[in-house]
Amino acid sequence: MHQSVRFLLPAVIATAALIAAAPAAHAQRTMEFGVDAGAVFGLGDESSISVGLPGSRARVGFFQPGSQWSLEPAIGLNYAKVKGSDGNLNYDLEVGALYHLRPIVLTSGAEVVARARAPYVRPFLGLTGSTGGDGDTEVSVGVGIGVKRPWLPTLSTRMEANLGYGLDNEALRIGVLLGLSFFTR
């Protein structure tokens, strides 16, 4: 990994966490907890495919009060060990910022009446790697478009298609996510 990225990425993640944790004056913060199944197709010199079912990652979204933005860190972990060899931890860390093209919550006073279908755009910064082998870490940037479709006021499905680009291996990635989201107030 490039030295500048090694120092920049923790700063970006720390800043995102501080923004998400900042107290909102006189407003309750809505949070979105979710899990996604996913598939990623890597195009380039070394083509690849990765499928995670029933869940490839967990995420928490922090809605910004009075805004159509939410900040969303996500993590996916996978550990494998074969007898006679070292264990291997694969990780996928990501920070995204969702911009909802229309408000997601319909309210009546202080009570949530329903959640409207909410299309969104999600730029993201990711860090993917493994502790086994050469321990290489890949930094990627990308953007996704998707929609949240409510079942209940606190439960929605989420569908997304995204494009990512690996900065070190210069590979394009096409991804799809299908998940469930639970909302708190």
Domains, the chain, in order of start with CATH, read 3-21+30-184 (2.40.160.20)
DSSP letter string over the chain? --HHHHHHHHHHHHHHHHHHHSPPTT-PPPEEEEEEEEEEEEESSS-EEEEEEEEEEEEEEEEPTTSSEEEEEEEEEEEE--TTS--EEEEEEEEEEEEESS-SEEEETTEEEEE--EEEEEEEEEEEEESSTT--EEEEEEEEEEEEEEEETTEEEEEEEEEEEETTTTEEEEEEEEEEEEEE-
pTM score, two decimals? 0.78
Task: For the chain, give the mean pLDDT.
Answer: 82
Task: Please give the share of the chain, as a percent, with pLDDT higher than 90.
Answer: 43
pLDDT at position 130 is 86
Q: How confident is the model at residue 54 (pLDDT cuts 50, 70, 90)?
A: confident
Is the pLDDT reported for residue 15 higher than 80? no
- What is the tens place of the pLDDT at every residue in 91-146? 999 999 999 998 766 555 555 655 678 899 999 999 988 887 776 788 999 999 99
Residue 158 vs residue 67, higher pLDDT: 158
